[in-house]
Structure 1
Amino acid sequence: MSWCETMLLFLLFALSIPPSSQAWSVDYPSPISNVPSHWTNNNATIPYNATYADGSTIRAILVRQNPAGYAPSFACGFICAAPCDRAFLFAVFSVSIGGSSTSAPANTTATLRVVWAANRHHPVKENASVQLTKDGNLILRDFDGSLVWSTNTLRGPIVGVNLADTGNLILFDVMGKTVWESFEHPTDTLLIGQSLRQGKRLTSASSNLTQGQFYLTVLDHGLYAFVDADTPQSYYQKRFNVTDAVVQSKMNISSDEAKNGTAYISLLRGSLSAFASLSSTRIKLFNISLPWPSSAQLMSLEEDGHLRLYGWNGLSWKYLADVLNVDPEECAYPTVCGEYGICSEGQCSCPTGNSGDILFRQLDNRQPNLGCFPATPLSCDLIQHQRLLPLPDVTYFNFAHDWTTDEESCMSACLKACSCKAVFFRQQNDSYGSCYLMPKIFSLMHYEPGTIGYNLSAYIKVQMLPPPPSSKGLNATAYHVGVPVLVVLICVLLLFIKRAMAKRMQEDDPFKGIPGMPTRFSYKQLKEATNNFSKKLGQGGFGPVYEGKLGSVKIAVKCLQDIGHGKEEFMAEVMTIGSIHHINLVRLIGYCSDKLHRLLVYEHMSNGSLDKWIFRKNQSDSLSWTSRYRIILDVAKGLAYLHEECRQKIVHLDIKPGNILLDDKFNAKISDFGLAKLIDRDQSQVMTKVRGTRGYLAPEWLTSTITEKADIYSFGVVVLEIVSRRKILDDTKPEGSTNLINLLQEKIKIGQVLDIVENQNEDVQLHRAVIIEVIKLAVWCLQRECTKRPAMSQVVKILESAMDTEASSETTSRDDICDASSPLSPVPVSAR
């Protein structure tokens, strides 16, 4: 850095310091840090740490003290939300600091509030680090060195980072110009002067500060709030009216805004306003007046979907108003009464049948707002025994994707579609109307007849059990039997039924007597362990997975809802994984076989499935190459054990990223053995029906004659996905690039194998040679002829560098592996 640049930087630093009458204690960190800087998340290297009254822990690395009472002070650093479980976010948060205090910033009883966070999707552990690098990137790494988040700053050169008095975290260049700022990347909060631009989201935070299920976004025709689902559902809209918009001068608008040319909303003193910048003019689209105008305000999208305004009262943030004002009674908010719950004047209830049958139950009788669940889960295999329960005077917060038909056809379409959970029909004339099929149901709303202005019919799908076999009637001769004999026969029959039921209750265990089986639990035990199945971790192939606790041990409970078809998978999974143990296989702790309930109890894997990490839209947040290489090796070891070290060969048949789970240290373990097949050691192959997932199926599925080599093909696909960080089949890619294997063959032809890797950052370039070798190994596993694929033990040795690809392949040379003529095309077979 030149002498002039150094002096300019010093001048900028000096100008950022408040006057001496407002100077902060020398114990506080500076709000500015220069390049390069490095901070490690522990008490030894960050002395400015403490615990708040609610249990939250902070470690501040930058502190901007504002005048006491007038505005909050802000800090940037690591924060662990209450109750702190040692999972930290790198964030900007408001703190209350006395002007003459010499104590650490966290020694206050004021409420802590996070206004921006970098890694809500991936909290980091103790000894994680933040680094301001020489090339001007601000980088967050976890304790194991894996990349969690980065500013990806391309403009520069950057000379420092500054925490402004507005709460904006800024990277600036030698001229003092902003190169990157947190205000351009909002999370759940907008501060005064901050904007939410078109294409970006304000996403709610849950109670532990991780990412919630609501988001607010600006589209080209309005401001919208959604609850996130497979198909997001909107619960708030404020449309733009460009024709009547007010055109304003462009004099006070930044050049960056002028170049944008898109709509945005801004939190200003006293208002939330929407604008669009067009050429030399700024168009005001709407204006929402806010109470108590002040420069110390913030607006937060919270975990219940409300957008709330807060003002600073000198010590903490005070609630002022609900900005969206969706519904005075709150019934129009999607989760006010939980899934399937009906909201009426702020009270929650469950749908009921006309005959008084209990078709839905509350998750918690003491907390009706948590929602309801079907007394009998819906099953696609028993779709013929489903019916639609009418819900009089009930409506929904969102109607979208309608089609015109008659009411009978609308109802019939829902009954035929396994994915349909409810249906609404809005009458337009005597014959036709709008039909809305709902694949997911949040809270429903009761309305008074005649208040919505149109005729609406609402139905919710319920599962009925198959009727018992019809009685053929008594034999004709029975009518001539005397009454005493008939009474005796009835008594004997009742006694027999009673004993049979008692014996069945004692022996209702399909695995009783099988040695080495895991613990059997009752349905009641697992219901209590999961707090009435209240926290859903995800959705598996045959049912949802819930988090629970047995004592102090966290568990994951999979509920098999596929009542008919699921029994085969249930037996397979318990028999298969219950008797084997390996560090790279998810451990089956126990199971439940209780009447219609079949559940599997696994060890809890805190980081979820692999697909959530490698298919991220923001690739800078994905796993480092070191972590991904270790995951590939872990999966290979797990498969090698199944194929070669068990008494019977176990073929998994559904290897894919969704069935690879990660623990808290990102160790990989194979899960979901519902489709597994056992092959005796004296068998070379097994005949089976097509099963698995499209894109991962080996070519031999066309003959249904399967060996363990089918898993090796799937493993090769998974390796390509881990390396490239894209899906094997992706219709969002340009034509010719939708199939990853076809794309790889084209790149092999022109000698540019590494081109399949998306976002070739510094981490990829550093491990370029190793990544190419791993791609070659994947290609070997993807050979169309199954005999040419390696055994998994060979794959493990190669990955552990015990032997290289050349030395270990007896049937295929390294040149052959990368030969463009090698048949690697995927199999066009549709499956689960």
Structure 2
Amino acid sequence: MAIFLLPIVFLLSSTQIIPSAATDTITPSQPLVAGQTLISAGGTFELGFFNASPASNSFLGIWYHKIPIREIVWVANRRSPITTRNATLSLTTDGNVLITVGNVNGGGGGIGAIWSTNTYDIKIPSLKLLDSGNLVLTDGASDAIIWQSFYDPSNAFLPEMKIGLHITATRHVENRLLSWKSLDDPSPGGYTFGIRHTNSSELVVWNGSNILYRTGPWTGDFWNGFPQMSWDYHLNLSFGYEDVPNEIYFTYESASQSVMTLINLDPSGVLQRLVWLGGQWRQSWHMPRDWCDRYGTCGPFGVCNEDDFEGVCRCLEGFEPRTLVDWTLRDYSGGCERKIALNCSERVDGFVKVSGVKLPDTENVTVAGDLELRDCNALCLGQCSCVAYAMLEEGCLWWVGQLIDIKEFAQGTTGVVDLYLRLAATDLDSAESGSSKRKHIVAVVIPLGLAFIIFCCCGIYTIRKKRKKGVGYGYVKESRGEEMELSVFDMSAIEISTNNFSDENKLGQGGFGPVYKGQLGDGQEIAVKRLSRYSVQGSDEFMNEVMLIAKLQHRNLVRLLGCCIHEEERLLIYEYMPNKSLDSFIFDKAISSQLGWEKRFDIILGIARGLLYLHQDSRLKIIHRDLKVSNVLLDKELNPKISDFGMARIVRGDQMLESTEKVVGTFGYMSPEYVMHGIFSVKSDVFSFGVIVLEILTGKKNRVFDPNGSYVSLVGHAWRLWSENKSLELVDDALKDGYPEKDVLRCMHVGLLCVQEGIEDRPTMASVVLMLSSESMTLPQPKWPGFYPRDGSKVTEFSTVNDVTLTMIHGR
């Protein structure tokens, strides 16, 4: 499955640090003042004060010493930034570590102290920076470690550090990572990472108190829901439970002490492992990886399949959507419910195997020791509350209550686990009789927006007129008394026109069904979209909105000719576009030369005008949400027409932002705020438009662009070349016969303005049309683009020895 990636490395290239003589220890008589640093004995780590945002703030931190690109791995005073230049790290004679500001003697005394370890009564205190990156406070009288930075982590997880619960006679410590507030502000952010302690513990990333992502339980080699961790050949993992002292922790060690590595939690909640190899920070894995990793995406008893590009949900065998209308609208949060209740008293229930999944949330799981599979089966069957079981290294796991957050992995994924789901006897017989088929109910998804509403209109019209045959042209009356013409086609006429939906007539496969070419009896050519078979009843409350959408008419929008409803069939009939979609031209080197500069500019401007109509000039404010080159069709004269409104959303005219639990769309075209937080607006379409502009100018795809193994993002590469005044190097070779450099650069400029990271920084489509149409208009300078590391790092891919494609970060 294709995945998206947001690698972030915080660089402090401007940090002013003046190292002192190499030392790794602070004593009561040897404090550390601003401008000095400690360096561990082996020269691996360095401790000192550094500046952050705003520049007047400084913090005490630890970073790798011998590399030019600093990655901060620990910060002491995250909640209390230093706002003066006169700061000191000191150790009192009784063992308290202090950060003080102002004119305070090295002995401390607490005057001006903004951070401390609150440790006392140490006879011979010493503070030392180890080659592991751990800052430890020891008592020389007993060599005991009194305090250590590994028990107070920031946003970075280093080798030998333990994430989890540590209980001793005097301390109860729960180690969790806490993200930075922003890329350049180490103050506490909104995301945490740690172990959630249940009967079968698992790693979790929280957004506040809500689970964003969980790994599933430990299998003995790696976490069940994150088998990709096994790809990491640099990483030897160990995980265990200790009774004395009580410990539940996760830790890791590097296979080579010379490899500099860390796992960090970035400000957006992405957990990633970075490795310093070949003079560059490289990313070997990250989580969450895809939409199916988002906690509870498909609700109770729902399954998210990572093989599906959009992560479409389905119900487990024997279950059906709890609320059909919600599922039709792509809201899966309500999940699924049983079709037939269990019958525990008569012991006629059974189990069906759900293969290769991330096991459900373990909050309501019980671990029953070392049992064989058949004994685990019998145990669950004997418990009326047991709804499923699975076998792991730690023993038999059985669940009660709802099964939440199940992910189905691609076939052949290493080390995934099988779940045994309890079903009523009737459902079990049905599952066994259909063993040659998939053992689940496919949740068929019907388009949102225009397609769904038009179906309601067609259905209501058909029912009211009780049409049974022929191609009809009827009038549906609006509440205002106006009439509009809407064609309702007979199924037999459509079958004849498409040669009974033959493969020879098939134009392609869309997200919601195949599209066929047809020809009506009068010779008119049509495109027929055959949508998924799922009957949803419309209602009169949609009628006014239906009339408004059906009246959308613009030369840069594909025109809907009518619809057909026949039993469970739902068909949309569009005008036929003989030149298919834009991607078939610009990405095909054999024919891309047919699109010269003038035609490409006309296409860019036409798409912009079509979007402007949707956002502003139509009677409704419509956000497309899936704008991409394959959804831009070309007519006989190669004029662009925006198509496929299956994911469109109608919003109020005064509504600026909207959010959704279910993020849909195409990776590479979706804006950062939509990908990470489900927030969308007209500016989401603007971002997609910017990507399309860059693809039209370059003839290259955004998501697979990789010149010389250096970049995987066309947007990022375009931004780099723009900042180096080399944008013309990116222009499509098919245009080499000649193009106006000034006009091409202006379009490149507009495209980069559209893909800026900040929502407020992107222009409206009205401004875009004006900028494209007026050569005299001065354009603002574009800011950082979305999904491009703010530190200026470059993103690329490398392949491990097992041919697994990973992603790496290059420091510039």
TM-score when normalising by structure 2: 0.37
Which structure's relative contact order is higher, taking Cα pairs within 8 Å and 6+ residues apart? 2
